Amino acid sequence: DSFDYPVYLTAAAFAGLYQLENQNPSFGQGLEGYAKRLATSYGDQAIGNLMTEAIFPSMLHEDPRYFRIGSSGGSKWHRTGYAITRVFVVRTDKGGSTFNFSEWLGNGTAVAISNLYYPGDTRNVSDNIQKLGIAVGTDAFSQVLKEFWPDIKHKFSKKKS
């Protein structure tokens, strides 16, 4: 996931938002400021993916893959709720379910690592909690897209008569 095109789009979107908000003013504005925000946003995404989808799941014997319930699995609200809860619930290697420690510990570790490349004035509890919330929220949104994307793709790929 760290090298698939959606991560670049996500990083670019966050960088644009942070540019508009002038987050981390020491990055400056203009192309140089945007480039710094893009690099840090990509770092956040890539490190978070590595931690939540590889390192922690391997250590904790969790399966980080998203398993769709699909259109036969209930209403759109049910499917959306299910997708969002996957940041809290994960399958284990033995087939059971447990709290998604990989999601939270992985993104928490990624936030801690990000303190190495963000400006010093953002290395505080409040900013780190916000970064963790954004990382987990982004992952929840990603699960919702994974749940519905095949349906959306199918709808638009139908041949019109």
Dist CA 86 CA 88 (whole Å) = 5
Q: In what order do the strands lie in the sheet with 89-92?
A: 62-63, 89-92, 97-99
pTM: 0.85
The average pLDDT across 43-51 equals 95
Kindly report the average pLDDT of the chain as a whole number: 92
The average pLDDT across 93-122 equals 95
Q: What are the distances in angstroms from CA 132 to CA 35, 45, 75, 139?
A: 22, 11, 30, 11
Q: At what angle do helices 30-50 and 125-157 cross, to 10 degrees?
A: 80
Predicted local distance difference test score (pLDDT) of residue 141: 94
Amino acid in the structure at residue 129: I
Q: How far apart are the first and last CA of the chain?
A: 37
The average pLDDT across 26-41 equals 94
Burial of 101 from C-beta contacts in 10 A (0-12 / 13-18 / 19+)? middle
Do 100 and 88 meet the contact criterion of CB atoms below 8 Å apart? Answer: yes
Do 76 and 58 meet the contact criterion of CB atoms below 8 Å apart? Answer: no
Q: How confident is the model at residue 160 (pLDDT cuts 50, 70, 90)?
A: low
Dist CA 159 CA 161 (whole Å) = 6
Dist CA 25 CA 6 (whole Å) = 26
